[in-house]
């Protein structure tokens, strides 16, 4: 036992490496993880005192634990058996496929990434690009939502800035969990999006096993009270108008709710922009038969460099108004009591109607709509009409005339409208964009006629 043993130097060094790895993996790493975990838990506890809806423990669970919980759920187990019988593969193979689906779907939420990085970046980008406006149809109804209820923000989808804008504006309420499409499954973007709590979905998957795994995850999140955000249209609007809702996620949320359990409250959220950053790409995609967005990385990089250059030389201007408006909340349990037969379709219709009613008026869209309706109109009358219309569109703080004039000037600069002798009309060069923005204006012919009549009577009286 006390005899000297000679070893080659390389073998001695190898033993030291293995000993160091064992020490680190069994003693140091767990201690370090425990230390940071404790610090994170204290930080989240302080953060929850400032949020209207605290972060649920489900959202903070380790990703590995959540995946295990998902794949061993009875719902997924039955789906694995059914898939194995249908396809003729062994159950072990079907189970591994379900595990891959779970790993693809489940996020890895980081409170530090969300509140220390994402919120600050979202605030910076939102205010750098737009004059941000927030309004409510019934602010008291939002504040009176049951604290134990699962809140689901249901939004129209105009731009990829929607994620950024709503994340920033909802920062004081809670951390949102988005359903994100395949476009974001690109490294390193996918890692960042998962850290923000978003979960990936395949919008056109034909696999019943995949749908059951996704439904199971949505059920767990809904039962746990995780605040969620969804775009029922399933993709960006190519026309500027609201699209038809897709019912997949809505069905999963409804199925997860039981009368004796936690209530689910849907909050319609409507967004509108003076300028949608991807408007040219979207209107071109609308001309084809498929939703393909041919935005090249080089084009995007050049656009970003151009904006940075404009800021450096003092010629940068924001892209007008970006407005977000919260609509009337809808309680699923209360709605279920009155719509037992066609619950899902009735709820989808009411949610889309709630979004349509909440869509805020922005100067650019209003100017395009007025010009499309009237053909040619005095710019002074256009400004007065928009001022009158937005007074009756639910803004808590109406826009001043300078903001309205800036929105019109942007349309002229982009050759969507032309100005001649103090009158505005279509330039004829970018009719697709004129129609795109006009379709996003929450207006009708009767509103325009009433506004014109009021303005004419005011002029006559003066």
What pLDDT, in 10s, does the model give residues 302-352? 766 777 777 777 777 888 999 999 999 999 999 988 887 788 999 999 999
Domain identity same for 256 and 387: no
Q: Is residue 311 part of a domain?
A: yes
Q: Which helix (H) or strand (E) holds 353?
A: helix 343-358
pLDDT tens per residue across span 444-460 = 655 555 555 554 554 44
CA dist 218 and 226 (Å) reads 10
Q: So what's the pLDDT on residue 460?
A: 46
Rounded to whole angstroms, how far apart are CA atoms 424 and 438? 15
**For residue 310, how many other CB atoms are within 10 A of its CB?**
12
Identify which of 264, 233, 457 has the alpha carbon closest to the alpha carbon of residue 343.
264
Average pLDDT over residues 173-177: 81
Length of the chain: 462
**Which of 188, 178, 221, 183 is closest to 202 using CA atoms?**
183
More confident: 379 or 175: 379
* Residues 310, 315: Cα–Cα separation, whole Å: 5
Domain count, the chain: 3
- Band (pLDDT 50/70/90 cuts) for residue 152 is very high
Confidence of residue 6 (pLDDT cuts 50, 70, 90): confident
Residue 69 lies in a domain: yes
Whole-number pLDDT of residue 301: 65
Q: Are residues 298 and 374 in the same domain?
A: no
Which residues, 6+ apart, have CB-to-CB distance to 141 below 8 Å? 328, 329
Exposed / middle / buried, residue 315 (Cβ in 10 Å: 0-12, 13-18, 19+):
exposed
Q: Does residue 38 belong to any structural domain of this protein?
A: yes
Residue with the bigger pLDDT between 365 and 34: it is 365
For 434, the domain range is 363-461
Residues 282 and 323 reside in one and the same domain: no
Of 96-100, 169-173, 296-300, 380-384, the poorest mean pLDDT is in 296-300
262 and 285 assigned to the same domain: no
166 & 55 share domain: yes
Is 308 within a domain? yes
Report CA-CA distances (Å) from 222 to 59, 96, 102, 248. Answer: 11, 25, 17, 15
- The span from the CA of 309 to the CA of 426, in Å, is 30
Q: Which pLDDT tens digit goes with each residue over 74-83?
A: 999 999 999 9
Does the residue 426 lie in any domain?
A: yes
Same domain, 351 and 339: yes
pLDDT for residue 462: 46
pLDDT higher than threshold 80 for residue 29? no
Average pLDDT of the segment spanning 393-405: 74
What is the mean predicted confidence (pLDDT) over 286-304? 63
Q: Which SS3 state, helix, strand or coil, does residue 200 take?
A: strand
Judged against a pLDDT cut of 90, whether residue 435 lies above it is answered with yes
| Average pLDDT, rounded, for the chain | 82
Residues 355 and 373 in one domain: no
The SS3 assignment for 252 reads: helix
Is the same domain home to 222 and 283? no
Instruction: Indicate whether 314 belongs to any domain.
Output: yes
Are residue 298 and residue 323 in the same domain, yes or no?
no
Q: Which has more pLDDT, 160 or 100?
A: 100
CA dihedral 372, 377, 380, 385 (to 10 degrees): -50
Q: Give me the phi and psi of 272, to 5 degrees please.
A: -150, 150
| 3-class DSSP assignment, residue 418 | strand
> What is the DSSP code (8-state) at residue 72?
T
Please tell me which residue, 300 or 69, carries the higher pLDDT value: 69
CATH number for position 219: 3.40.1130
């Amino acid at each position: 036992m006390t005899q000297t043993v000679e070893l080659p130097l390389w073998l001695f060094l190898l033993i030291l490496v293995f000993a160091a790895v064992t020490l680190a993996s069994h003693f140091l790493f767990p201690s370090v993880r425990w230390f940071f975990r404790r610090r994170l838990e204290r930080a989240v506890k302080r953060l929850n005192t400032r949020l209207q809806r605290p972060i649920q423990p489900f959202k903070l669970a380790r990703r590995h634990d959540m995946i295990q919980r998902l794949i061993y759920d009875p719902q997924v187990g039955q789906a694995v058996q059914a898939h194995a019988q249908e396809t003729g593969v062994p159950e072990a193979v079907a189970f591994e496929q379900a595990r891959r689906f779970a790993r693809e779907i489940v996020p890895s939420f980081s409170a530090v990434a969300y509140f220390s990085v994402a919120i600050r970046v979202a605030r910076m980008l939102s205010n750098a690009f737009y004059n941000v406006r927030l309004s409510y149809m019934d602010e008291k109804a939002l504040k009176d939502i049951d604290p134990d209820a699962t809140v689901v923000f249901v939004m129209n989808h105009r731009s990829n800035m929607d994620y950024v804008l709503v994340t920033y504006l909802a920062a004081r309420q809670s951390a949102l969990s988005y359903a994100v499409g395949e476009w974001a499954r690109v490294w390193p973007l996918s890692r960042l999006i998962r850290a923000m709590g978003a979960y990936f979905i395949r919008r056109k998957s034909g696999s019943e096993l995949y749908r059951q795994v996704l439904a199971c995850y949505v059920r767990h999140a809904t039962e746990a009270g995780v605040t969620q955000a969804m775009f029922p249209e399933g993709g960006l609007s190519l026309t500027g108008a609201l699209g038809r809702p897709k019912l997949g996620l809505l069905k999963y949320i409804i199925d997860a709710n039981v009368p004796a359990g936690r209530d689910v409250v849907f909050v319609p959220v409507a967004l509108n922009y003076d300028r949608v950053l991807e408007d040219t790409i979207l209107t071109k995609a609308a001309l084809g038969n498929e939703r393909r967005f041919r935005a090249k990385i080089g084009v995007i990089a050049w656009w970003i460099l151009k904006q940075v250059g404009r800021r450096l030389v003092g010629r940068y201007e924001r892209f007008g108004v970006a407005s977000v408006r919260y609509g009337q909340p809808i309680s699923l349990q209360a709605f279920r009591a009155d719509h037992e037969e066609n619950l899902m379709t009735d709820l989808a219709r009411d949610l889309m109607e709630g979004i349509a009613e909440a869509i805020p008026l922005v100067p650019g869209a209003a100017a395009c709509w007025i010009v499309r309706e009237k053909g040619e109109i005095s710019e002074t009358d256009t400004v007065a009409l928009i001022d009158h219309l937005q007074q009756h569109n639910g803004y808590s703080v109406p826009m001043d005339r300078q903001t309205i004039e800036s929105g019109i000037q942007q349309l002229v600069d982009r050759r969507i409208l032309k100005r001649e002798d103090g009158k505005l009309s279509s330039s004829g060069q970018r009719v697709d964009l004129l129609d795109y923005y006009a379709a996003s204006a929450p207006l009708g012919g009767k509103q325009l006629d009433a506004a014109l009549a009021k303005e004419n009577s005011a002029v006559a009286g003066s």
